[in-house]
Structure 1
Amino acid sequence: MSADWRDLLNREIFPFVEYEGYDDKYPTKNIELIHPELAEELRYVSGVLFGAFQRAVAVCQKCGDNFLEDLEIPPQLIPYLQKDNPLHLASWLSRFDYVVDKQGNFHMVEINADTPCAVIEAYYGNMVACTHLGVEDPNYGEYDKLCSWLNEIFLASEPGVSISTGRFHRRHPFLFSCFHDYQEDYATTKFLMNAMKKNALATEVDDAITFVSFYDLAVWRDGSILLPDGRTANAIYRLHPLEILIEERTPEGETLGKDFMDGYLHDKFMMFNPPEAIIMQSKAFQALVWALNNQPAGTAQVFTAEESAVISRYMLPSYFARDFDQRNIAAGSSWIKKPIWGREGAGIEVLDRDGVRFGKDVDTEDIVRRDSRDSMYQLFVDQQPYEADTDSGRLTGYKTLSCFMLGKNPSALYARFSPDQIAGTEAYWLPLGLT
């Protein structure tokens, strides 16, 4: 038996166990054991919050551009956010993130609704850790559910079937795409593609489900996605943030992002995640949810009683910059100031009555992100310390718990460990087991 469970991780599936530029392996040596009741609570809360977020997205779609502009949705994206999608869900694969306070309570701090990563860790790596260490896997069975869900997405793309053979035709494949030279994105994209192929209904599709790098794609004159072999895609999974994609141009200056989105609008292909996932992705969306849940008495309520109770208990007070009262700081509370399009902790500051308590010093050179005009404010959680075993020894830091969503259904759990309260690119993956 291997002395280090991390040696058992298949580098073909999980090539970023060792990451260039980092001395330590990405996974921690230890595994965190959680109670089944906590796993159940995380999934329950995530399911209820997703339902509430769906309602809030519908409010944004019905109430005109002002709501979307408040969320700093790029104006050029707004025309594409009213279109319904085949699954009638704003996000088909998403991930809620939670922090744990010093009393052991967890609080939702973010939803990754557009391009969530950590899929390999949750749906593959966690199983390897639990099997080797002889503990129960909280994600047991979730990979099969992922495969089934992806097969539903495949079938929703209306693949054609050959009358003569009964097989799915290959002229318009389901396309998986990312920039192949970014290791984590490439591995994640391939993992999801292979999971879609796993289901029995997809055993005969062969190259009806295929990968092509973003570098090798083109948008045809009618808006179709053109593959190098001359085929056009009937659906695309794209691991590239939509707020960045919309502004992409070719080296010749052509509006590649807009042309791509026009093709989607005119039903040339289906998109996974759908564009409206960007509404949830905006950091300011939580400020909108908080405001909708705290409307004056007598105002029509957006959320169910159950959703409202979960929002009040598990979300944090969150405000648009214009609505934030600086007296909250003077009263002794600490607040996080987040750029609306921040990623990997970049630009985040923690504010208290003495000014900036601390900020996140992040090298943003390699982080793909959109510049933000404004910030949102969220109550700061003083987190419960946690110790993890790494290649650099035992470190003290903080853990973040996460729950993936397959559409509206809670799924695999995931955790990461960071030496800092604001996790960034230096965070470790922390496997989870059940006590």
Structure 2
Amino acid sequence: MSSSYNEKRSHFYSRLENFWPDLYGEEYALYDIRLEDSAEIKKIRLASARIGHIFFKVCRLLREVPDTTLLEMGYPAETLPFLRLKTLNSESVIARLDLIRHQDSYKCIEINADTPTFIKELYHINGKVCKEFGVEDLNEGLEKLLGESVYQSVIKAARQPKEKNPTIVFTAHEDSLEDRETVLYLKKISGLPSRFVPLHKLQIEKDKGLYDEFGRKIDILYRQTVPIENLISDEDSEGNKIGLWLLDLVQSGKLAVVNPPSAFLLQNKAVQAVIWGLHQENHLFFTEKEHGWIEEYFLPTFLEEDYFFKSKKSYVKKPSFGREGDTVEIFTGTGKRVDADPQTTYKSFQAVYQEYIELPSVTFTSEKGVQDGRLLIGCFLLNGKPAAVGFRVGGQITNNLSYYLPAGLKRGEQ
């Protein structure tokens, strides 16, 4: 690539505070823009609203099934009491759907209901890039809605422990630039009277409470980037299961967390196997209209591979809990592996098998020149309602080395 791209990109992103245009020593945020029709963005948001409705509805059912069913779906046994808690009206405050454009519609490959990132990029940075390129931001005005959503979720969570002046703490791993700055961004736009306390500085007393580094009891913990499935294995230097202690505090009402427990219930990719199974049976749990939505927007998903061997269809094997393409593998209908992410962090979790469809091809500009890549769409749900839309480009498996491709509306479209 000519030095012009590199210079323009460096100059532009260097002016944006507390952002991470590069990750893991590689270019992440592109100095390029994708232009979309406003009608197409409306279709994405309509699809996302319907998909979100299906996910949130099945949450009610999952809270009522036997423990054995939840264990078969791959939920860690230690989380079962936590899973049944319903602490907020919305099942997830901030969730992100990953979508693939397919045959003039969209397919949902997963929902990150518990700890989605890609937030600051779409709600804040995207508008800056659109201004730089002189186009309309397709997420115009949604940053305010995001701040209000975070604010309202914490206020509602405060009513659970019935604290008049609750101590609110936002937390993240301090050494992760992306996690830390995402959480600090949410803290800022929420306008809440709160503090940021790095995860390693939090202190916990079994059955009593969670405290900040000064020994002040915390009433509400905003944990946008701290996954529950990782938390349950946390131990202190003495071998105490401090992660489980934290879940016990939530269960006993001594601590409120956002995203709420129901977001972790939805995080499990096996939920899509439940949805598809109910759809296959034409189960009355879903209405005729909802079955139509599942047929259009969901992919055949199972807890075993037999369907794909019989149908000779290619499929994706992914862990029930996992992020950024980690531990994802792609197979042909004969069981031959054709692609796999090099990371295998989540191989101990229950496997989920989903029909494979190709990500659409796209051409984009980067420091490496003009490249061909595969396009993945992200659409956020704020309390279940569709909000910011954005794009990642990379390989067939979208991982932590995939690029962020800013996007705007085609000229003359609102």
Relative to the length of structure 1, the TM-score reads: 0.87
- Corresponding residue for residue 318 of structure 2: 338
SS of the aligned residue for 2:218 comes to coil
Q: Which whole-Å deviations, capped at 9, do the CAs of 1:237-289 have from their partners, x for residues lacking one? A: 11211011012110110010111111111111211111221221112111111
Q: 1:323 Cα shift?
A: 5.9
Q: Which residue of 2 aligns with 1:263?
A: 249
Cα 1:417/1:229, change in 2 over 3 Å = same
* 1:376–1:59 distance in 2 versus 1, CA, 3 Å: same
Question: Percent identity of the aligned residues?
Answer: 27
Query: Structure 2 regions of 5+ residues with no counterpart?
Result: none
User: What do residues 359-379 of structure 1 show as CA deviations (whole Å, max 9, x unaligned)?
Assistant: 224245xxxx54434322211
Partner SS for 1:376: strand
Letter in 1 for 2:323: R
Q: Do the aligned partners of 1:136 and 1:433 also contact (CA within 8 Å) in 2?
A: yes
Counterpart check, 1:294 vs 2:288: no
Report the equivalent of 1:154.
Answer: 154
| Matched residue, 2:221 | 236
Give yes or no for contact 1:6–1:129 (8 Å, CA) kept in 2: no
Q: Distance in 2 between matches of 1:40 and 1:328?
A: 34
Paired position in structure 2 for 1:376: 352
Q: Distance in 2 between matches of 1:372 and 1:280?
A: 19
What does 1:224-373 align with in structure 2 at a 5 Å threshold? 224-238=209-223, 239-296=225-282, 299=283, 301-321=284-304, 324=307, 326-329=309-312, 333-364=313-344, 369-373=345-349
SS in 1 for 2:169: strand
1:322–1:424 Cα change, 3 Å: closer
395 and 92 in structure 1: CA distance in 2 versus 1, 3 angstrom threshold: same
Deviates more, 1:141-150 or 1:374-383: 374-383
Question: How well do the aligned residues superpose, as a CA RMSD in angstroms?
Answer: 2.1
Distance 1:62 1:385, change over 3 A: same
What amino acid sits opposite 2:221 in the alignment? I
State which of 8, 12, 17 in structure 2 corresponds to 1:4: 8
- Residue 110 of structure 1: SS of its match in structure 2? strand
1:91 counterpart residue number: 92
* Count of aligned residue pairs for this structure pair: 401
Task: Give the TM-score of the pair, scaled to structure 2.
Answer: 0.91
* Secondary structure, counterpart of 2:214 in structure 1: coil
Q: 1:129 to 1:112 in 2, by over 3 A?
A: same
Aligned partners of 1:178 and 1:311: how far apart in 2?
Answer: 35
Query: Of 223, 228, 235, which aligns to 2:208?
Result: 223
CA distance in structure 2 between the aligned counterparts of 1:334 and 1:349, rounded to whole angstroms: 11
Contact 2:308/2:315 (8 A) holds in 1: no
Q: Determine helix, strand or coil for the equivalent of 1:341.
A: coil
Instruction: Specify the alignment match of 1:165 in structure 2.
Output: none
Cα deviation, residue 5, structure 1: 5.7
> Which residue identity is paired with 2:405?
L
CA distance in structure 1 between the aligned counterparts of 2:24 and 2:302, rounded to whole angstroms: 38
Question: Residues 321 and 374 of structure 1 are in contact (CA less than 8 Å); yes or no, is this contact kept in structure 2?
Answer: no
How far residue 130 of structure 1 moved from its aligned partner, in angstroms, is 0.8
**Corresponding residue for 2:363?**
387
| Structure 1 residues 317 and 221: alpha-carbon distance in aligned structure 2, compared to 1, 3 A threshold | closer
- Structure 1: which 4+ aligned runs deviate by more than 6 Å? none
